[in-house]
Chains A and B, each alone.
Chain A
């Protein structure tokens, strides 16, 4: 019996030794969305390995659970949004943005505000008194709509915002439970093509023609202790973005393999996070009263 234990521990020690000299490891958390195509490509095509990062991908069911999972150490890297990061900073969570993931550009709208067919909503003012479905209150897409309403002189209590998750939006519009909805691809194309809804506005593009949609977060102390891992992640990601641009069809196939559905329209991808990207969100959140005090965004981007 003792001999077996001895042998087992010897094998374990031998196995552990080369591991410690190996590449840094990162467990990366994402949600099922087309924003993460380069992530799947980097894993599938071996770009992480090539740049020296032992990456494991973990799908998280809902976005609000990602930041707590990073803080607890289950994830080393996880997806988030600008508003998400600012709320976290205000709440005292030690998170930094280490890379960008996707951008929403006016030239390639993937999100929008749709209205129920049959309603006459031509100008923002027609939205007064209407019930608008949101994929999540206090999330990036909804805060940008609040900014758009604010810019069009509609106050927050003149519309009712209710949460309706993407797969239920079409039914809720059809049944008349909601009058308009904040949506994203591929749900947007589906509702437009089957006549359920019409486009009221590409409000994201109107608020900011080049918006940082999704970014990658990690703990401050992890990034400081693992600069090589951060560099490897960025390099692999940049290479994957280039690869996606050259191999559109195959990257759509890889996306479908990981998230279970295909998306006819893909967002723009970009690994860079500019200070001005976060400054924009900070300004908007203060304007809307979502932040109680100013946040120093220069500390939130990993150099």
Chain B
């Protein structure tokens, strides 16, 4: 019951914003050419859905985002575990990683183009580079912060290094890894759009850029709405996955 009330509250709030948007657009608060009403935006989105213009760019963007994110997650977990477990790896890698972390991913696009060409591989590499940090920091934190009691248990049971890694370190790090992966996924979506805009690859990002250039604001906003829906859906997907993978911890408080 409480959940239903919360859900309807969220829906009502979103609906109120939509009405406000429509009112502002109808009053020509901002030129229609730059700020279309929600009805025009949704009509355009409907046209794209019906005529099938939406699917190809949507698929391209989703593909790019997913592979970039998967690569980032893999690299993040492996690096996080290595740094968390090995003093030497930490000494060698940490300063370098701290140096690379603030680099904006879009700044490496020209270099990535020279390495990988104007290809999907290039966009995936750029996305992975930018999206790796939250999952890397999450997994590092997860692997380092093992409860002293659990470490004692592992010692008392005389677990081998591998056994202790699989049975204690990984489950302990999993919540942090998943929390990091969720943030990484949002970054991967943003970077998929940015690389499409900067390196002219087909996708929602390129559609938005071209719509902006041709002063087609309903098309531009339709792209933005699609991205929003996509972000909402994948965030929900990963929350569900988190619940399933972490069921052993019991219901979250």
Q: How far is the CB of B212 from chain A (nearest CB, A)?
A: 7
Q: Which residues of A contact B232 (CB under 8 A)?
A: none
**CB pair B200 A138 closer than 8 Å:** no
Q: A64-B212, A131-B118 are in contact. Are A92 and B32 (CB under 8 A)?
A: yes
B210: chain A residues at CB < 8 Å are: 137-138
Distance (Å) between the CB of A293 and the closest chain B CB? 12
What is the chain A residue whose CB lies nearest that of B198?
A163
Q: Chain A interface: which of B81-89, B142-150, B214-222?
A: B214-222
**When chains A and B are docked, how far (Å) is the Cα of A290 from the Cα of B6?**
46
Interface pair A91/B214, CB less than 8 Å apart? yes
Contact of B215 among A91, A171, A178 (CB under 8 A): A91
By a CB distance below 8 angstroms, the chain B residues around A64 are: 212-213
On whether the beta carbons of A90 and B118 are closer than 8 Å, the reply is no
Contact A91 B213 (CB under 8 A): no
Contacts of A139 in B (CB 8 A): 213
B 80-123 binary contact with A (CB < 8 Å = 1; else 0):
00000000000000000000000000000010011001100000
Q: Complex: how many Å from CA A177 to CA B206? A: 19
What CA separation (Å) do A168 and B217 show in the bound complex? Answer: 30
The reply to whether A177 and B215 contact each other, CB–CB distance below 8 Å, is no
Closest Cβ–Cβ distance, residue A231 to chain B (whole Å): 27
- Minimal beta-carbon separation of A58 from chain B (angstroms): 20
Residues in chain B near residue A284, CB distance under 8 A? none
Interface size on A, residues (CB 8 A): 27
B33:A162 contact, CB within 8 angstroms: no
Given A64-B213, A67-B215, A87-B215, residue A93 in contact with residue B118 (CB < 8 A): no
- Which residues from A are CB-within-8-Å of B213? 64, 87, 136-139
A242 to B110, CA, bound (A): 42
Pick the most buried of B34, B199, B214: most chain A CB atoms within 10 A of its CB. Answer: B214
Contact (A93, B33) CB under 8 Å given A87-B215, A131-B118, A137-B210: yes
Contacts of A67 in B (CB 8 A): 215
Scan residues 197-212 of chain B and give those whose CB is less than 8 A from a CB of chain A: 199-201, 206, 210, 212
Residues of chain B within 8 A (CB-CB) of A92 are: 31-33, 215
Does A88 sit at the interface, judged by CB under 8 A?
A: yes
Q: Which of A68, A162, A290 contacts B200 (CB 8 A)?
A: A162
**Residues on A with beta carbons closer than 8 Å to the beta carbon of B214:** 87, 90-91, 138, 290
Shortest distance from the beta carbon of A299 to any chain B beta carbon, whole Å: 16
Closest residue on chain A to residue B32 by CB atoms: A92
Give B7 Cβ to nearest chain A Cβ, in Å: 38
B118 proximity list for chain A (CB < 8 A): 131, 162, 172, 177-178
Q: How distant is A282 from chain B, measured CB to nearest CB, in Å?
A: 14
A193 at the interface (CB under 8 A from B): no
**A176 to B215 alpha-carbon distance, docked (Å):** 33
Q: Are B31 and A71 in contact (CB under 8 A)?
A: yes
- Taking a contact as CB atoms closer than 8 A, the residue among B117, B201, B217 that contacts A177 in the complex is B117
Closest to B210 in A: A138
Asked whether A91 lies within 8 Å of B117 as measured between CB atoms, the reply is: no
Q: How far is the CA of A131 from the CA of B119 in the complex (A)?
A: 11
Task: For the complex, give the distance between the alpha carbons of A92 and B217 in Å.
Answer: 10
Most buried by A among B212, B215, B217: B215
> A246 vs B189: C-alpha distance in the bound complex, in angstroms?
56
A93, B114: Cβ atoms closer than 8 Å: no
**Complex Cα gap A132–B69 (Å):** 30
Q: How far is the CA of A193 from the CA of B215 in the complex (A)?
A: 38
User: A299–B110 Cα gap in the complex (Å)?
Assistant: 43
Q: A64-B212, A68-B34 are in contact. Are A91 and B217 (CB under 8 A)?
A: yes
Question: Can you name 8 extra interface pairs (CB under 8 A) apart from A87-B214, A93-B33?
Answer: A67-B215, A71-B31, A87-B215, A93-B31, A161-B200, A163-B199, A172-B118, A175-B117
**Could you name 30 residue pairs across A and B whose Cβ atoms are closer than 8 Å?**
A64-B212, A64-B213, A67-B215, A71-B31, A87-B213, A87-B215, A87-B216, A91-B214, A91-B215, A91-B216, A92-B31, A92-B33, A92-B215, A93-B31, A93-B33, A93-B215, A134-B200, A136-B213, A137-B200, A137-B210, A138-B210, A139-B213, A162-B118, A162-B199, A162-B200, A172-B118, A175-B114, A176-B117, A177-B113, A290-B214
